[in-house]
Amino acid sequence: MKNRLTLVTIASLLVSLSASVALAEKPLLLYYPTITDAKGIPRMEYHVGEKVCVWITVYASPVRYVPPLIRAPFKILIVVETRGIAYVFGVVSGTITTGQTKTYSFNFTVPKGVPPGFHVVKLMAWNGLISDVLAEWKSLATPVSASFLVVGG
Amino acid sequence: MRLKLPAIALVLIALTLSVSPALSGSKLVVYTLKKAYEEGEVVTIVVKTSPWAEVGVEVINPLMRTVYADQGIANLTGMATFRVLAVPDLWPPGKYVVYASTPGVYNTTTFSIVGPG
């Protein structure tokens, strides 16, 4: 009985260790990716040449938050793609402290030549651009995405 | 039995750590399918590293501006592929540098964009 209890305790410790490693790797939460038109009104369909705004909220959970972020601003990245091919890229810098929630926005114009259909906006958070941080590169949040429809010719 | 439990625990810890690419000292190779692309063409970037590793890529244009960055998860064979359109206005002719990283390791490659004609 005592041995079984010890085994269960060790297993629990390992599970919590794995969980804490996983959480430490993802200190930020990205949520509520929202797509709106230039007036800030959520909309699903856009034409070529129209402006699209993307809003994303970042939360630094007290549980997940890694203090060094205070000293090193992070990057929020956006990629817009369709049929697996990216055609828009953007990046903004941000800083955040434990427990804080911040919202960032991007905007882009639906370029000529993109095919009609569903397009995906993917948002990511990194500890820096790879060209700056090199092997120290880390993804700080699980990427999130939202989609919109390009209509017309 | 007293001796076995710590041994089991050590093996489990070793197994847990070994699945982390950052801690296992994984290698990373990055290349593009072609060494030269025309403006408006789709550039394909391939990264080969450990299976299931989290991979990031970044492309710097000749003006030292980041024109693309993305992340993904390597597949069972350790391969991750990224495809991006070389939009003419943002991707002028010249030499481009691709950075790729998985936590703890990075590598680079280059390719060229050539103008029409």
State the pairing for strand pair A51-60/A101-109: antiparallel
Give CA angle at A76 (B78, A105), nearest 5°.
140
Cβ <8 Å between B1 and A3: yes
Q: Which of B68, B98, B108, B110 to mutate to test the interface with A (most CBs of A within 10 A)?
A: B68
pLDDT tens track for A22-64: 444 588 899 999 999 999 999 999 999 999 999 999 998 777 6
Query: What pLDDT band is residue B88 in, cutting at 50, 70 and 90?
Result: confident
On the question of pLDDT at A90 being above 50, the answer is yes
Q: Which residues of A touch B67 (CB under 8 A)?
A: 89
Q: Which residues of A touch B69 (CB under 8 A)?
A: 77, 79, 89, 91, 126, 129-130
- B2-9, long-range: CB < 8 A, 24+ apart: B5/A3, B5/A6, B5/A7, B5/A10, B8/A7, B8/A10, B9/A10, B9/A14
Share of chain A above pLDDT 90, in %: 65
pLDDT at A62: 75
Instruction: Nearest by CB to A10, from B1, B5, B58: name it.
Output: B5
Query: What pLDDT band is residue B89 in, cutting at 50, 70 and 90?
Result: confident
pLDDT at B7: 60
Q: Which residues of A touch B8 (CB under 8 A)?
A: 7, 10
Which of A73, A128, A122 lies closest to A102, judged by CA? A73
- Per domain, the residue ranges of chain B are 25-114
Cβ <8 Å between B58 and A130: yes
Q: What is the DSSP string of A43-59?
A: -SEE-TT-EEEEEEEEE
Q: Hey, what domains does chain A have and what are their CATH numbers?
A: 27-150 (2.70.50.60)
Share of chain B above pLDDT 90, in %: 73
Judge contact between B89 and B105, C-beta under 8 A: no
Joined together, the tokens standing for residue A112 give 């000529």
Cβ <8 Å between A86 and B83: yes
Higher pLDDT, A59 or B116: A59
Across the range B8-26, mean pLDDT stands at: 49
Whole-number mean pLDDT of chain A?
84
Give the ipTM of the model, two decimals please.
0.81
Q: Which residues of B touch A89 (CB under 8 A)?
A: 66-70, 84
Report whether CATH 2.60.40.1930 matches the domain B25-114.
yes
Instruction: Nearest by CB to B16, from A7, A14, A79: name it.
Output: A14
Cβ <8 Å between B56 and A91: no
Helices assigned H by DSSP within chain A: 2-25, 130-133
